[in-house]
Structure 1
């Protein structure tokens, strides 16, 4: 808006107001008096331009200013959270043994601490570093301090995924959703917003009056866009509407609402196709690339799942992505779960990768 107010333009306007009978050449008293003022005014206009830009919310504004704008509506950026995984602990006879709560272990570049006992020798292990990077970590746990009787320890499956600090894009999307769909009194918008605020939860669908008046069903996937674990389901159910007190308003659900929390059902996807490869290539050389593009496509569908009544796994989309791979000339007879047609999933189903079978 103020880009025309450069230092040169401002200085020229000021100099034009000085009578020509005075010396206005560079180095003169008049020039030397006005030039610094022109520079400062240019900076002022630049600051005004930036101020105007930050007045209107956008995902491109600096995080600190976006935080201030959404705070006006009572929203705040979701912080990074800590992943929780299963840990297994064995003695020298390979029998499960108990360890002290608070025991710390390292694996790769991360430290994990035992926070809760699940059963004999099996514990919930929380990563000490916040974020999503630790979600995929598995392997042998190395004790940071000596634990008597412990021979081996392993880090197992993910229970509750860690999340990175919320991005500008995600916060802006929540802000717009908040403005367009006012959450109030147990409406769909309120259930979606409050369910997504639970650590570890990603996409959410809400089904009101699904089993009669006053009933609500919430179906979700985790923040990694995978089918949630039982631990995450139990956590969400307890926060939203504890099973033993359903309808009494002891969770975030209003009094009179009986809420059932479920995880989305994973539908395993197997892709088969016949490829025409460029000279000198074998199926084995492109197998990993094909698997990666299929996994990426299915992840994209899971990320979009909450916005669609049904999810469609399309043959055309699969073929287009495979044909983009270097070395693949053509593709024939592409099938999804042994059928050469699109696969339509139900409203509570999400596609998960199982296998890719290729031939030439």
Structure 2
């Protein structure tokens, strides 16, 4: 808005106000007197332009966007810690009990035992907030000695950890709140309620799914995979711990059932022609990564079905690949149909020369 208010433009306007019989050349007294003021005014206009952008949600960022969102009850989400499945065994390979609060380490991160699920199976919480806690798997080392413990393993991601919310994510939630406001338990309300629980990455709401007064809320986690039992329980307890009783945020009379999305396993096979710059293992690793990212990008969207042509494009764009033949997805050279309550999950990649 103030992009034309440059130092030169401001100084020229100021000099034009000086009578013509006064020396206004560069280096003159009046020129040297006005130049510093023109420079300061140009800086003020520049800051005004920045402040104007920070006023509106579509151009705001950082702290200012968070404060703007709070005006509408949308709170910025800080990083959360991952909840993981821990498995513990004694010398006879039998499940064994460990003390709540016991700490274990794996690579650069530590994990604390929070609750017991069943004999030898516990919920562990990563002490490092963010998505870093989702990536490690394998043998755990006890930080303090535990008598009788022979083996400890870090297994499934129960509730994924999330990094600090990005400006784009917060802006999207804010615009959803403003443009599609919740009103007394409509679909927008259920989406908002579910997404407010840490670890939820997508929501589908099915009204009247089992008759009048029933609502089904289908979830994927922040990794775009079917939600775990623990995540489903967290959302269920927040929205409606007792069906129809209004004990959660859902209105009285609404029988709310929270469920995980159904995972549809994908198996991708193809014969490759390589250029020799990359070994087959590296090609497979790269393709697996971009394929996983593609499936995440379409999960719970308007069209969640993986496209055969798109998969072929990803394979052809993989470094080291010249061409391919016999590309099959779940045994067919067609798109894979995914329903609204389902999510595609890459199960196997089989590439060969």
Please tell me the TM-score bracket, short chain as reference: over 0.9
- Structure 1 spans left out of the alignment, 5+ residues: none
CA RMSD of aligned residues (A): 2.2
How has the CA–CA distance of structure 1 residues 31 and 216 changed in structure 2, closer, same or farther, with 3 Å as cutoff? same
For residue 42 of structure 2, what is the aligned residue in structure 1?
A: 42
Shift of 1:62: 2.6
Summarize the alignment of residues 145-184 of structure 1 with structure 2, pairs less than 5 Å apart. Answer: 145-184=144-183
For residue 253 of structure 2, what is the aligned residue in structure 1?
A: 256
For residue 348 of structure 1, what is the aligned residue in structure 2?
A: 341
Summarize the alignment of residues 222-301 of structure 1 with structure 2, pairs less than 5 Å apart. Answer: 222-242=221-241, 245-278=242-275, 286-301=283-298
Summarize the alignment of residues 89-108 of structure 1 with structure 2, pairs less than 5 Å apart. Answer: 89-108=88-107
Instruction: Give CA-to-partner distance per residue, 1:36-79, whole Å, 9 cap, x none.
Output: 21122111111211122222222x53311111211221111111
1:144 is the counterpart of 2:143? yes
What secondary structure does 2:296 align onto?
helix
Shift of 1:347: 2.1
TM-score, with normalisation over the residues of structure 1? 0.90
1:18 is the counterpart of 2:18? yes
Whole-Å separation in 1 of the counterparts to 2:238 and 2:137: 29
Q: Is the 8 A contact 2:223 2:296 kept in 1?
A: no
TM-score, with normalisation over the residues of structure 2? 0.92
- Structure 2 spans left out of the alignment, 5+ residues: none
How has the CA–CA distance of structure 1 residues 294 and 62 changed in structure 2, closer, same or farther, with 3 Å as cutoff? closer
Q: Following superposition, which runs of at least 4 residues in structure 1 exceed 6 angstroms of deviation?
A: 279-282
Whole-Å separation in 2 of the counterparts to 1:134 and 1:43: 45
For residue 31 of structure 2, what is the aligned residue in structure 1?
A: 31
The number of residue pairs the alignment matches comes to 353
1:121 is the counterpart of 2:120? yes
How has the CA–CA distance of structure 1 residues 170 and 285 changed in structure 2, closer, same or farther, with 3 Å as cutoff? closer
